């Protein structure tokens, strides 16, 4: 397991702590934006960043200048652990389709962000093999339009390829933010304008769960970083929940808030989104974090499931659940959030709903969707059901039927709604 080395758990106020600048060639990224390292194009659809020492970082992704240029082959990175000096295996990064958060000024093409833990070295290799392209593993967008992205010439890489490194800035996080001990093994304790003078959201048939607010995990700093007003679903009604995983290395639950903040930094600083894309995030110890701004009790428009955001919300499991199942505390917490949000609109978590496609595309299973047409989904669906992506992972996806039952109050887990 890669160690994150982000320090002992402290209170919520410590989340805003700033790490002093490290010695070396440049300032730590932390609060000053990502550190960017240019790749070298070798020709023939190949590009690399040779193995090197870097400034400290914990999360990374790759970006390029044109948001509509596609890479059809593989994008892989490996990193060096800052504690023991060992290099990781190669990590595949999946590209995000263009305009995930709508058409944004200055937005680049980009991959998903991946948490790698405390690292001080990196290597990248890209090979455009001229395949069919693919979907992102753990992102999604508003995706309003008649197609799922732009083009690209197979065998020709887009210009401006860089590795973006996000430093958590030494922000110690603590479980006081979640009201529980913060050790590694801690247990769980269409756009529309902002709504002026927002009233409370509709009551729910399920209790509102304990959720770490944006103010607790990010403070005033993230509100200054995301100044645009919140946006809400055009119809004002949540019909479905899409389940995601964030992918990446293992982590201490004491570092979960720092992971959430680093994802926000990547979405905003690298991809130029208005805010973090997910509505809610759940760590492996069962702590729930408020994601995109707008109000926990509101139908907030997120950027999480390409083509389906206008009628849904999202819950992202922090971690990679490709080869391992989501743990019990995370499932319990996610069920509480799902029950609360769908309960506000009278939606049965075990039921089926009808959603209007915001993009023409295919999902992971090859099912085709046409812009403007209506399709049936499970009220609690995996990301891969709406988009060509492996998300939420091969091990979490089979857990969704049980998650639906738990959110509905079945399965002998009434204690979830405590």
Q: Which DSSP string do the residues of 191-232 spell out, in sequence order? A: -----TTPPPPPP-SSPPPP-B-HHHHTHHHHHHH--SPP-B
Q: Any residues with CB less than 8 A from the CB of 20 and at least 6 apart, and which?
A: 170
- Give ∠ CA 311-314-317 in degrees, rounded to 5: 165
Structure token pair of residue 73: 């082959």
DSSP state at residue 300: B
Encode 21-50: b = buried (16+ Cβ within 10 Å), e = exposed.
eeeeeeebbbeeebbebebebeeebbbebe
pLDDT band at 413 (very low <50, low <70, confident <90, very high): very low
Structure token pair of residue 158: 């887009």
CA 347 to chain centre: 24
Is the CB of residue 236 less than 8 Å from the CB of residue 190?
Answer: no
Q: CA 171 to CA 157: how far, in whole Å? A: 36
pLDDT band at 290 (very low <50, low <70, confident <90, very high): very high
Q: CA 211 to CA 282: how far, in whole Å? A: 9
Residue 392 has pLDDT above 50, yes or no: yes
22: nearest Cα among 10, 35, 13? 35
Percent of the chain as helix, strand, coil, to the nearest 5? 20, 25, 60
Q: CA 14 to CA 59: how far, in whole Å? A: 20
Is the CB of residue 171 less than 8 Å from the CB of residue 48?
Answer: no
pLDDT tens, 34-52? 999 999 999 999 999 999 9
SS3 159: coil
- Give ∠ CA 289-394-93 in degrees, rounded to 5: 75
pLDDT tens, 246-256? 999 999 999 99
- Residues 399, 138, 218, 417: what is their CA dihedral angle, to the nearest 10 degrees? -20
pLDDT tens, 85-144? 999 999 999 999 899 899 999 999 999 999 999 999 999 999 987 544 344 334 444 544
For residue 30, give the H/E element and its range. Answer: none
Helices (H), 138-287: 214-217, 219-225, 256-265
Q: CA 122 to CA 193: how far, in whole Å? A: 41
Q: CA 104 to CA 274: how far, in whole Å? A: 8
Backbone angles phi, psi at 385, to 5 degrees: -70, -20
Which range among 13-17, 50-54, 259-263 shows the weakest confidence by mean pLDDT? 13-17
114: nearest Cα among 273, 248, 272, 303? 248
Structure token pair of residue 38: 């240019």
Looking at per-residue pLDDT, the higher value among 59 and 178 belongs to 59
CA distances from residue 157 to 40, 224, 348 in whole angstroms, order as listed: 11, 35, 46
pLDDT band at 195 (very low <50, low <70, confident <90, very high): very low
Beta-strand relationship, 312-317 and 240-245: parallel
pLDDT tens, 58-101? 999 999 999 999 998 999 999 999 999 999 999 999 999 899 89
Which range among 90-99, 333-342, 344-353 shows the weakest confidence by mean pLDDT? 90-99
């Amino acid at each position: 397991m890669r160690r994150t080395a982000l320090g002992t758990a402290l209170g919520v106020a410590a989340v805003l702590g700033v790490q002093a600048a490290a010695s070396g060639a440049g300032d730590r990224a932390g609060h000053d934006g990502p550190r960017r390292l240019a790749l070298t194009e070798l020709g023939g659809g190949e590009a690399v960043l040779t193995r090197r020492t870097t400034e400290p970082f914990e999360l990374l992704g790759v970006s390029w200048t044109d948001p509509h240029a596609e890479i059809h082959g593989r994008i892989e990175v490996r990193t060096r652990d800052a504690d023991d000096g060992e290099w990781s295996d190669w990590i595949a990064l999946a590209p995000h389709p263009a305009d995930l958060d709508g058409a944004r000024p200055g937005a680049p093409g980009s991959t998903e962000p991946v948490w790698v833990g405390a690292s001080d070295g990196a290597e990248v290799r890209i090979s455009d093999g001229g395949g069919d392209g693919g979907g992102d593993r753990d992102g999604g967008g508003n995706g309003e339009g008649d197609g799922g992205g732009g083009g690209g010439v197979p065998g020709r890489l887009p210009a401006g390829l860089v590795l973006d490194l996000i430093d958590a800035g030494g922000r110690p996080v603590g479980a006081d933010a979640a009201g529980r001990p913060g050790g590694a093994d801690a247990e769980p304790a269409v756009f529309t304008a902002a709504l002026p003078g927002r009233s409370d959201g509709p009551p729910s048939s399920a209790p509102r769960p304990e959720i770490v607010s944006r103010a607790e995990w990010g403070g005033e700093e993230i509100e200054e970083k995301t100044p645009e007003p919140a946006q809400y679903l055009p119809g004002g009604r949540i019909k479905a929940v899409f389940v995601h995983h964030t992918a990446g290395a293992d982590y201490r639950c004491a570092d979960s808030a720092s992971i959430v903040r680093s994802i926000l930094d990547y979405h905003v600083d690298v991809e130029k989104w208005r805010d973090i894309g997910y509505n809610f995030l759940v760590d492996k110890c069962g702590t729930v974090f408020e994601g995109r701004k707008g109000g926990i009790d509101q139908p907030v428009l997120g950027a999480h499931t390409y083509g389906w955001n206008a009628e849904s919300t999202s819950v992202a499991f922090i971690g990679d659940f490709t080869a391992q199942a989501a743990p019990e505390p995370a499932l319990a917490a996610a069920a509480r959030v799902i029950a609360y949000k769908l309960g506000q609109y009278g939606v049965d978590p075990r039921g089926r709903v009808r959603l209007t496609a915001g993009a023409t595309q295919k999902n992971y299973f090859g099912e085709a969707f046409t812009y403007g047409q209506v399709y049936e989904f499970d009220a609690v669906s995996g990301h891969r059901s709406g988009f060509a992506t492996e998300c939420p992972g091969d091990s979490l996806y089979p857990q969704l039927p049980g998650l639906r039952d738990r959110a509905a109050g079945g399965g002998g887990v009434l204690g979830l709604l405590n």
